[in-house]
């Protein structure tokens, strides 16, 4: 048994596949072999069969206790998901796209995805018609054919992702093809684009890909404005500063940054996207709204991006736990994303920078609980202090909340005294309070 066989057969459910190889030719293809060659964990297994694999996929799901569902019924593509206590593994079943496995592989996007082995063969000899082995050895990103990107222009963005994930340099002809076909991304649905963009921005060290991003002029295609070489270098420094500051922070900060908002965008990825959209002169809310609409980012991601535009105007972080909870709830947009923006250099204004030591991390856990009650119960404000339901009461509650965040009041007694003073001043002036 060679190392490839050993490693694949150790995956949950994989050994069961060998029981079906006598019924129908089954090929292990694409991403699983690519990730294995680069020494990365294999969690997604792609399988191609000579014929419709649906019965095989369903039987595999029954045998392993996995969940089977369609990916594309017309193309006979389906998936089986196996879960254990820690993670999930997916097995994708598809028929060959051509008459032979070699022709199928040659029609793929990049050579690193154009490898296969036939399960059931004794030695699992590598089928590599496009020279993927040499390209991987030399850390080279190479298209399978001159027109492969035109078959699906999203492959341009996938190429950017592969170059980043696997530290590859595009071959001269490949980069020329990417430059030539990058404009075709304008015809790709935003949902497909943001899925790739989320992966790119979630990768640590994503500043490495910005020179290629600039050469392809992807900001112009995806966001509607160009990013110059100087702007790209500035953006790379900002990305690096974000990640360097993060690396020096406590464990709870890493958890905060890694949390997902929506559509696989982590909070850190949204910060990077915010910098890409607003880190150049003349940027603002209109640019972010245009990009969010183009990329179909969804309401939650758009709200978070809009909030990052306003974090420089928020109140300073108080020191007391309860006041911090109120302050955090009042941060604009998505409070956790805006908090991350305040904690990490390069996003917030220098005068608003928040040091890790000032924030009580227990406040983040409290965000999942019911919000704190006002210092003075609403019933008491109406019954004992004479506030009427409606705008007057709302203004009073907002004023108390603001003063508590600013730590100008800390106790119910101080809050009540403040309201009584305000009422007395209003009476003296002949106005309503406060």
pLDDT of residue 432: 54
157: domain CATH number is 1.10.3090.10
Residues 263 and 212 in one domain: yes
pLDDT tens string 53-72:
999 999 999 999 999 999 99
- First and final CA of the chain: distance in angstroms? 81
Residues 272 and 169 in one domain: yes
Say yes or no to pLDDT of 305 above 80.
yes
pLDDT tens string 378-400:
999 998 888 889 998 999 999 99
Residues 122 and 176 in one domain: no
pLDDT of residue 351: 41
Is residue 416 situated within a structural domain?
yes
pLDDT band per the 50, 70, 90 thresholds, residue 284: low
Please tell me the least confidently modeled range out of 123-132, 346-355, 423-432: 346-355
Residues 299 and 183 in one domain: yes
- CA-closest candidate to residue 262, choices 187, 206, 198: 198
Is residue 144 situated within a structural domain?
no
Residues 249 and 226 in one domain: yes
Is residue 57 situated within a structural domain?
yes
Query: What total number of domains does the chain contain?
Result: 4
CA 68 vs. chain centroid, Å, equals 26
Residues 346 and 286 in one domain: no
Could you tell me if 308 and 325 are in contact, meaning their C-beta atoms sit under 8 angstroms apart?
no
**Burial class of residue 294 in the structure, from the number of CB atoms within 10 Å of its CB (0-12 exposed, 13-18 middle, 19+ buried):** middle
pLDDT of residue 349: 47
- Mean pLDDT across the stretch 94-112? 95
Is residue 28 situated within a structural domain?
yes
Residues 102 and 247 in one domain: no
pLDDT of residue 348: 44
Residues 168 and 303 in one domain: yes
Is residue 373 situated within a structural domain?
no
pLDDT tens string 338-382:
999 988 854 444 444 566 778 889 999 999 899 999 999 999 999
Residues 281 and 351 in one domain: no
Domain final residue pick, 266, 283, 308: 308
Name the more confident of 34 and 292.
34
Residues 100 and 182 in one domain: no
Is residue 372 situated within a structural domain?
no
Identify the domain containing residue 24 by its residue range.
3-138
State the pairing for strand pair 77-83/67-72: antiparallel
| Two structure tokens written together for 129 | 């018609």
pLDDT of residue 149: 97
Any residues with CB less than 8 A from the CB of 159 and at least 6 apart, and which?
109, 110, 141, 143, 149, 170, 174, 178
> 3-state DSSP call for residue 29?
strand
Domain final residue pick, 138, 158, 193: 138
Domain final residue pick, 138, 170, 187: 138
Is residue 434 situated within a structural domain?
no
Residues 212 and 112 in one domain: no
Is residue 143 situated within a structural domain?
no
Which DSSP letter does residue 112 get?
A: G
Residues 347 and 211 in one domain: no
């Amino acid at each position: 048994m060679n190392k490839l066989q050993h490693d694949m057969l150790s995956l949950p459910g994989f050994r069961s596949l060998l029981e079906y190889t006598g019924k129908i030719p089954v090929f292990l293809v694409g991403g699983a072999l690519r990730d294995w060659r680069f020494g990365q964990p294999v969690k997604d297994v792609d399988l191609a069969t000579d014929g419709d694999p649906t019965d095989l996929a369903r039987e595999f799901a029954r045998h392993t206790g996995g969940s089977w569902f369609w990916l594309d019924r017309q193309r006979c593509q389906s998936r089986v998901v196996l879960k254990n206590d820690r993670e999930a593994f997916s097995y994708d079943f598809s028929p060959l796209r051509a008459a032979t496995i070699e022709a199928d592989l040659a029609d793929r996007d990049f050579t690193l995805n154009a490898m296969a082995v036939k399960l059931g063969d004794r030695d699992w000899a590598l089928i590599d018609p496009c020279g993927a082995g040499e390209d991987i050895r030399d850390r080279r990103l190479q298209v399978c054919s001159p027109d492969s990107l035109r078959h699906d222009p999203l492959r341009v963005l996938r190429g950017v992702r592969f170059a980043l994930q696997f530290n590859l340099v595009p071959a001269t002809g490949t980069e020329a093809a990417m430059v030539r076909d990058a404009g075709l991304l304008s015809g790709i649905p935003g949902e497909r684009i943001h899925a790739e963009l989320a992966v790119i921005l979630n990768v640590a060290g994503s500043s490495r890909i910005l020179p290629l991003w600039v050469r392809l002029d992807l900001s112009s295609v995806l966001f509607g404005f160009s990013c110059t070489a100087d702007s790209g270098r500035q953006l790379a420094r900002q990305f690096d500063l974000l990640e360097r500051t993060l690396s020096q922070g406590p464990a709870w900060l890493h958890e905060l940054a890694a949390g997902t908002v929506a559509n696989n965008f982590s909070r850190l990825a949204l910060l990077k996207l915010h910098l890409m959209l607003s880190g150049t002169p003349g940027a603002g809310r209109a640019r972010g709204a245009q990009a969010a609409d183009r990329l179909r980012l969804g309401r939650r991601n758009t709200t978070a991006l809009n909030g990052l535009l306003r974090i420089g105007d928020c109140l300073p972080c108080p020191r007391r736990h309860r006041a911090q909870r109120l302050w955090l709830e009042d941060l604009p947009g998505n409070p956790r994303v805006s908090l991350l923006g305040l904690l990490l250099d390069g996003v917030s204004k220098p005068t608003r920078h928040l040091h890790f030591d000032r924030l009580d991390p227990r406040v983040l856990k409290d965000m999942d609980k019911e919000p704190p009650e006002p210092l003075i119960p609403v019933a008491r404000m109406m019954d004992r202090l004479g506030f009427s339901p409606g705008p007057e009461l709302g203004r009073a509650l907002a004023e108390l909340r603001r003063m508590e965040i600013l730590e100008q009041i800390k106790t119910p007694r101080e809050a009540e005294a403040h309201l009584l003073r305000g009422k007395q001043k209003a009476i003296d002036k002949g106005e309503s309070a406060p």
